[in-house]
């Protein structure tokens, strides 16, 4: 039973996500479209599972939700800070710098999520990972204390992501 | 004051805030003078500027009584795709040498974009 379920739905969260996206894409929510969404949600992951054999071992959806709200709030706050930097700091006084964030996350999904969060938060852009995946290269627009930015990323985002994917 | 009027005013307010952030992003794009700092401006426009415009659209549709949540989907797609383009522009900048050379990683040998085999280095 469990094996049949795993064969049919290699990525249960993806199935759920595809079904929800399909329903939202429709102009009106109808039962028929919801069923069709579930069918698509089963067929697409099943058909593409050859190219995507691994899946995250566990994913805490509740913590992921609170994490997304925190990120949205951070985006708003950081936007105002960066707008202030753009309008008031002249080019000669701007202090852009590279920082290296040591990665404690192992799963590719978690690292992708961390890199995406860093880029979406204005003022920081994630540029690259190292060849063995132990550190993340981040560009900062304006900072007096690069170490503080690095520690902020590590405690604020990385520790939470570790809990989500633990 | 009916619900319709309040909704319209709220939509107008978020349109104003969104356009304000977009114009600040454009100012940043024009003002900064090296490609890496310039990259920071569009990522900001992509998040809060577009976000406020889409919020205005949602508010307006709900005020007129035919609510739509398609904007949430646009936002989600934008949030998924925006970091990837920023990432590629950053890597292109590193390769073109138009920014400071990034410091070496702490534990590993090099950054993966610079990790090309010897025979591929001469193009």
| Chain B residues whose beta carbon lies within 8 Å of the beta carbon of residue A135 | 105-108
SS (H, E, C) chain B: CCHHHHHHHHHHHHHHHHHHHHHHHHHHHHHCCCHHHHCHHHHHHHHHHHHHHHHHHHHHHHHCCCCCCHHHHHHHHHHHHHHHHHHHHHHHHHHHCCCCCCCCCCCCCCECCCCCCHHHCCC
Number of domains making up chain B:
1
* pLDDT exceeds 70 at position A156: yes
Q: Give A138-154 pLDDT, tens digit per residue.
A: 888 888 888 888 888 88
State the residue range of the domain holding B74. 3-97
- CATH code, domain with A128: 3.30.70
Asked if the C-beta of B79 comes within 8 angstroms of chain A's C-beta atoms, the answer is yes
* Torsion angle, alpha carbons of B45, B49, B55, B60, to 10: -130
Is residue A88 in a domain? yes
Q: Who among A76, A87, A98 is closest to B24 (CB)?
A: A87
- Residue with the bigger pLDDT between A108 and B14: it is B14
* The pLDDT of residue B119: 64
Q: Give A51-102 pLDDT, tens digit per residue.
A: 776 766 667 778 888 988 998 898 888 888 888 888 888 888 888 888 888 8
Structural tokens at position A1: 């039973």
* The pLDDT of residue A56: 64
Q: State mean pLDDT over A5-26.
A: 80
d(CA A103, CA A117): 14
* The pLDDT of residue A57: 66
For residues A47 and A72, membership in a common domain is answered with no
pTM: 0.81
For residues A82 and A143, membership in a common domain is answered with yes
Tell me the count of A-B CB pairs closer than 8 A: 126
A79/B21 Cβ within 8 A = yes
Assembly ipTM: 0.78
Is residue B38 in a domain? yes
Question: Closest residue of B to A119, CA-based?
Answer: B83
- Sequence-separated contacts (24+) of A31-39 with Cβ below 8 Å: none
Is residue A56 in a domain? no
Q: Who among B32, B79, B102 is closest to A137 (CB)?
A: B102
For residues A69 and A149, membership in a common domain is answered with yes
Name the DSSP letter for residue A156: I
For residues A160 and A80, membership in a common domain is answered with yes
Structural tokens at position B108: 């590993």
Q: State mean pLDDT over A106-116.
A: 84
State the residue range of the domain holding A18. 2-51
For residues A97 and A25, membership in a common domain is answered with no
Q: Mean pLDDT of residues grouped by 10 in chain B (123 residues)?
A: 83 92 87 82 78 89 79 85 85 78 73 70 56
Is residue B119 in a domain? no
Helix (H, G, I), strand (E, B) or coil at A89: coil
For residues A44 and A66, membership in a common domain is answered with no
Cβ atoms of A141 and A89 within 8 Å: the answer is no
d(CA A48, CA A142): 42
| Chain A residues whose beta carbon lies within 8 Å of the beta carbon of residue B14 | none
d(CA A10, CA B64): 42
Is residue B102 in a domain? no
Number of domains making up chain A:
2
* The pLDDT of residue A77: 86
Ordered DSSP codes for A104-131 = ---SHHHHHHHHHHHHHSTTEEEEEEBT
């Amino acid at each position: 039973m469990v094996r049949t379920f795993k064969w049919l739905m290699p990525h249960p969260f993806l199935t759920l996500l595809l079904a929800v996206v399909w329903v939202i894409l429709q102009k009106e929510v109808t039962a028929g479209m919801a069923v069709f969404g579930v069918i698509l949600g089963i067929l697409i992951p099943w058909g593409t599972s050859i190219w995507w054999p691994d899946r995250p071992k566990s994913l805490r959806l509740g913590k992921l939700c609170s994490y997304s709200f925190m990120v949205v709030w951070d985006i708003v706050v950081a936007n105002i800070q960066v707008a202030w930097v753009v309008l008031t700091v002249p080019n000669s006084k701007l202090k852009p710098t590279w920082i290296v964030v040591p990665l404690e996350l192992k799963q590719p999904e978690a690292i992708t999520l961390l890199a995406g969060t860093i880029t979406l938060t204005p003022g920081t852009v994630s540029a690259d990972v190292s060849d063995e995946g132990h550190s993340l290269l981040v560009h900062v627009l304006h900072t007096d204390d690069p170490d503080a930015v690095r520690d902020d990323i590590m405690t604020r985002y990385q520790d939470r992501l570790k809990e989500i994917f633990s | 004051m009916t619900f319709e009027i309040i909704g319209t005013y709220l939509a107008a307010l978020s349109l104003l805030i969104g356009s304000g952030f977009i114009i600040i992003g454009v100012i940043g794009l024009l003002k900064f003078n090296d490609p890496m700092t310039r990259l920071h401006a569009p990522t900001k426009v992509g998040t809060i500027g577009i976000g406020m415009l889409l919020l205005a659209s949602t508010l307006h549709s709900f005020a007129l009584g035919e609510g739509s949540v398609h904007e949430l989907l646009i936002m989600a797609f934008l949030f998924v795709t925006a970091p990837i383009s920023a990432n590629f522009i950053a890597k292109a900048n590193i390769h073109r040498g138009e920014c400071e050379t990034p410091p070496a990683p702490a534990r590993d040998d090099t950054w993966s974009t610079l990790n090309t085999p010897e025979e591929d280095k001469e193009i």
